């Protein structure tokens, strides 16, 4: 059974004349990685907040169609109960800091403490989450003193420590150096093999395609495509960023300098092989 | 010889006495140069920027901006020489209307209403925000908010521009607009120092790349020389900059722009 199910789902924010999101039909199953990509202002963050249960508590809006978690409508769920299952890392990592912790370890412990877990369990979870995010050496730091990349690691650790069924990452790697982003994404992908579902909201195609089996392309709040990364490649790159090797492939395909049947590369590593497939057939 | 747009002479800085963050940094950025500063998270890149524009004072050493010593100059003097795009747009924006925000620096500099209006109109045009002048900055999406901070820098009109991760919030069309401005700013003779984790972007624009690690500049060279470092990315065959790497893999002439690559590829296909 799908963990998340959306059918013809729409959302109109209070006071808005037009729907912010419309025509959403997709599902997310346990262990799946889905990427939602689109340009600025296309509704990615709104969708992330909706899936995190913000409507109507933190986002006042009218919704229609079906948008369920385990067949129960997302809108109107208790945020506290939903937080045990769904965690959202917001685009600004500082937005996720509680403001009431004196060090990073206490910040990451905030969620499990509110679940009333035993202290030993909390300590074990916090240590594991910080280690996974390469943030163990930050545990004694004041949260307000963290750099952008450090705060992003802590925000992800604070979500993982809740051991969610569904982890929503809204451009959560944007402040990380590429080497760190690659390592962290690989570790999160490993967690999906244990059943965690992962949704990446991204403006960076390479990152989305590296982890996701399917990509949902949003344009002006509407679901335009839901398909494999290769199938959405050409259209997605009109809207989102990609490394130069992928841009070169998109331009070659547009200019007719590509061979039918050869798939586009999904990351820089596979680009040479794809170009050589075009060259040699 | 003309004075550098920015100079650090044996600059050190520490948030606390036990853990010095920057030690003995010396560097110079000349007018017309576009230099990238790269390094791991927490290396001190943003702190170096705050030192460069006088928001922080060095513990020792001297920082010069357009002939001013940042430790002695007053903020209004520095604001005529150097502009900083903060890493977090929300920490930079301080006005409740887009147009007022863009006019903030020229207003403080004492320009008359006509000049302020001319600068604001121009900056909003360049950044594609002309129809958002009356909006609240926090009603803009993340990419537009980043553009707003750029518009403010354009209106400030300084010889030295510091950009802290400027491209992170942009989608593809916004990035194209931003890169067009960046090229034009270089043609105008401005000095640009920028921090970015987008290593292909670094390679497209930086005439020189500085690698900050362990409190000092450990490398100073071209993008191709400096970016291939395990601190910055995985050391694989297609490590960034990815276009030269692709050229090497396909045995094509090395290039760093997509138009040139397309020509080479067309020729290669016969």
Examine the domain organization and report whether A103 and A214 are in the same domain. yes
B129 assigned to some structural domain: yes
Cβ-based neighbours of B242, under 8 Å, separated by 6 or more: A243, A244, A245, A268, A271, B200
Report pLDDT for B16. 80
Examine the domain organization and report whether B260 and B167 are in the same domain. no
Q: How far apart are CA A254 and CA A247, in angstroms?
A: 11
By C-alpha distance, which of B149, B170, B234, B154 is closest to B199? Answer: B234
Report pLDDT for B2. 62
Tally of domains in chain A:
2
Q: Which domain holds residue A274?
A: 243-281
Examine the domain organization and report whether B194 and B241 are in the same domain. no
Report pLDDT for B231. 87
Examine the domain organization and report whether A281 and A151 are in the same domain. no
Residue B261 tokens, joined: 């690559």
Examine the domain organization and report whether A204 and A265 are in the same domain. no
pLDDT digits (tens, 9 = 90+) for B96-145: 999 999 999 999 999 999 999 999 999 999 999 999 999 999 999 999 99
pLDDT digits (tens, 9 = 90+) for A16-44: 999 999 999 999 999 999 999 999 999 99
Examine the domain organization and report whether A108 and A203 are in the same domain. yes
Residue burial B237-254, b: 16+ Cβ < 10 Å; e: rest: ebbbbbbbbbbebbebee
Tally of domains in chain B:
2
Q: B41 and A145 in contact by Cβ < 8 A?
A: no
Residue A3 tokens, joined: 């963990």
Return the H-helix or E-strand segment holding B154. helix B142-156
Report pLDDT for A207. 94
Examine the domain organization and report whether B128 and B240 are in the same domain. no
Examine the domain organization and report whether A172 and A269 are in the same domain. no
For residue B121, how many other CB atoms are within 10 A of its CB?
16
Residue burial B93-119, b: 16+ Cβ < 10 Å; e: rest: bebeebbbbbbbbbbebebeeeebeeb
Q: A179 and B231 in contact by Cβ < 8 A?
A: yes
Which residue out of B142, B145, B213 would a mutagenesis test of the A interface target, given it has the greatest number of A Cβ atoms within 10 Å? Answer: B142
Closest CB to B172: pick one of A241, A257, A268: A241
Q: Which domain holds residue B103?
A: 6-225
B1 assigned to some structural domain: no
- Dmax over CA atoms of chain A, in Å, equals 62
Examine the domain organization and report whether B255 and B132 are in the same domain. no
Q: How far is B54 from chain A, CA to nearest CA, in Å? A: 19
Closest CB to B175: pick one of A175, A177, A241: A241
Examine the domain organization and report whether A162 and A214 are in the same domain. yes
Examine the domain organization and report whether B190 and B112 are in the same domain. yes
Report pLDDT for A96. 86
What CATH number does residue A25 fall under? 3.40.50.300
pTM of the model: 0.93
Examine the domain organization and report whether B217 and B270 are in the same domain. no
Examine the domain organization and report whether A172 and A266 are in the same domain. no
What CATH number does residue B104 fall under? 3.40.50.300
Residue A139 tokens, joined: 């545990």
Examine the domain organization and report whether A70 and A186 are in the same domain. yes
Examine the domain organization and report whether A102 and A14 are in the same domain. yes
Examine the domain organization and report whether A152 and A24 are in the same domain. yes
Q: How many helices (H) and strands (E) does chain B have?
A: 12, 10
Report pLDDT for B15. 85
Examine the domain organization and report whether B21 and B140 are in the same domain. yes
Q: What phi and psi values does residue A212 have, to the nearest 5 degrees?
A: -90, 140
Examine the domain organization and report whether B20 and B59 are in the same domain. yes
Which residue out of B135, B171, B229 would a mutagenesis test of the A interface target, given it has the greatest number of A Cβ atoms within 10 Å? Answer: B171
Examine the domain organization and report whether A180 and A281 are in the same domain. no
Q: How far apart are CA A55 and CA A86, in angstroms?
A: 14
**pLDDT tens digit at each of 281 positions of chain A:** 799 999 999 999 999 999 999 999 999 999 999 999 999 999 999 999 999 999 999 999 999 999 999 999 998 899 889 999 999 999 999 988 898 999 999 999 999 999 999 999 999 999 999 999 999 999 999 999 898 899 999 999 999 999 999 999 999 999 998 888 999 999 999 999 999 999 999 999 999 999 999 999 999 999 999 999 999 999 999 999 999 999 999 999 999 999 999 999 999 999 999 999 999 98
B208, pLDDT greater than 60: yes
Q: How far apart are CA A63 and CA A60, in angstroms?
A: 10
Q: How far is A142 from chain B, CA to nearest CA, in Å? A: 13
B146 assigned to some structural domain: yes
Examine the domain organization and report whether B216 and B155 are in the same domain. yes
Closest residue of B to A137, CA-based? B42
Examine the domain organization and report whether B190 and B242 are in the same domain. no
Closest residue of A to B231, CA-based? A179
In contact, B204 and B191? CB cutoff 8 Å: no
Q: How far apart are CA B140 and CA B149, in angstroms?
A: 12
Report pLDDT for A177. 85
pLDDT digits (tens, 9 = 90+) for B212-229: 999 999 999 999 899 999
Examine the domain organization and report whether B160 and B241 are in the same domain. no
Please list the residues that pair with B166 across neighbouring strands.
none
Q: Percentage of chain B with pLDDT > 70?
A: 99
Q: How far is B90 from chain A, CA to nearest CA, in Å? A: 10
B231 assigned to some structural domain: no
In contact, A164 and B28? CB cutoff 8 Å: no
Examine the domain organization and report whether B140 and B218 are in the same domain. yes
Report pLDDT for B1. 47
Examine the domain organization and report whether A23 and A82 are in the same domain. yes
Closest CB to B141: pick one of A40, A237, A241: A40
């Amino acid at each position: 059974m799908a963990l998340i199910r959306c059918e013809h789902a729409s959302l109109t924010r209070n006071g808005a004349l037009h729907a912010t999101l419309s025509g959403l039909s997709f599902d997310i199953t346990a262990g799946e990685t889905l990427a939602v990509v689109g340009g600025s202002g296309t509704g990615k963050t709104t969708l992330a907040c909706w899936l995190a249960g913000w409507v109507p508590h933190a986002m006042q809006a009218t919704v229609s169609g079906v948008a369920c978690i385990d067949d129960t409508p997302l809108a109107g769920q208790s945020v506290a109960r939903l937080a045990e299952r769904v965690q959202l890392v917001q685009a600004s990592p500082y937005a996720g800091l509680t403001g009431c912790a004196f060090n990073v370890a206490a910040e990451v412990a905030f969620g499990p403490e509110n679940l009333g877990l035993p202290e030993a369990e909390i300590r074990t979870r916090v240590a594991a989450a910080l280690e996974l995010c390469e943030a163990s050496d930050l545990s004694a730091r004041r949260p307000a003193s963290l750099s952008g990349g450090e705060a992003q690691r802590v925000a992800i650790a604070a979500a993982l420590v809740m051991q969610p069924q569904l982890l929503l990452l809204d451009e959560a790697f944007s402040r990380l150096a590429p080497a760190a982003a690659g390592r962290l994404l690989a570790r999160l992908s490993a967690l999906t093999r244990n059943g965690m579902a992962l949704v990446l909201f991204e403006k960076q195609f390479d990152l989305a395609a590296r982890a996701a089996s399917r990509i949902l392309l949003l344009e002006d709040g509407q679901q335009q495509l839901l398909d494999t990364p290769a199938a959405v490649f050409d259209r997605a790159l009109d809207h989102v960023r990609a490394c130069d090797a992928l841009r070169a492939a998109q331009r070659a395909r547009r200019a007719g300098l590509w061979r039918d049947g050869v798939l586009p590369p999904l990351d820089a590593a596979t680009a040479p092989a794809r170009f050589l497939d075009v060259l040699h057939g | 010889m003309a004075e550098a747009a920015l100079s650090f002479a044996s600059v050190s800085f520490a948030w606390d006495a036990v853990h010095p963050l920057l030690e003995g940094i010396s560097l110079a950025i000349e007018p017309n140069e576009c230099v990238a500063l790269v390094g791991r998270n927490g290396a001190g890149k943003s702190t170096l920027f705050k030192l460069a524009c006088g928001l922080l004072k060095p513990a020792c050493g001297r920082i010069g901006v357009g002939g001013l010593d940042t430790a002695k100059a007053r903020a209004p003097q520095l604001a005529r020489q150097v502009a900083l795009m903060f890493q977090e747009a929300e920490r930079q924006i301080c006005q409740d209307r887009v147009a007022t925000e863009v006019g903030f620096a020229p207003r403080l500099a004492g320009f008359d209403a006509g000049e302020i209006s001319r600068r604001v109109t121009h900056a909003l045009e360049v950044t594609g925000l002309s129809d958002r002048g009356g909006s609240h900055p926090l009603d803009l999406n993340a990419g537009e908010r980043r553009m707003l901070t750029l518009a403010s820098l354009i209106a400030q009109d300084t010889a030295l521009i510091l950009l802290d991760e400027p491209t992170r919030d942009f989608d593809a069309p916004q990035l194209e607009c931003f890169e067009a401005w960046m090229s034009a700013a270089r043609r105008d003779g401005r000095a640009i120092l920028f921090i970015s984790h987008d290593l292909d972007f670094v390679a497209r624009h930086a005439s020189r790349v500085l690698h900050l690690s362990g409190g000092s500049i450990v490398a100073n060279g071209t993008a191709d020389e400096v970016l291939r470092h395990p601190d910055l990315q995985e050391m694989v065959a297609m490590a960034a900059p990815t276009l030269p790497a692709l050229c090497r893999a396909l045995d094509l002439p090395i290039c760093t722009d997509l138009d040139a690559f397309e020509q080479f590829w067309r020729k290669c296909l016969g």
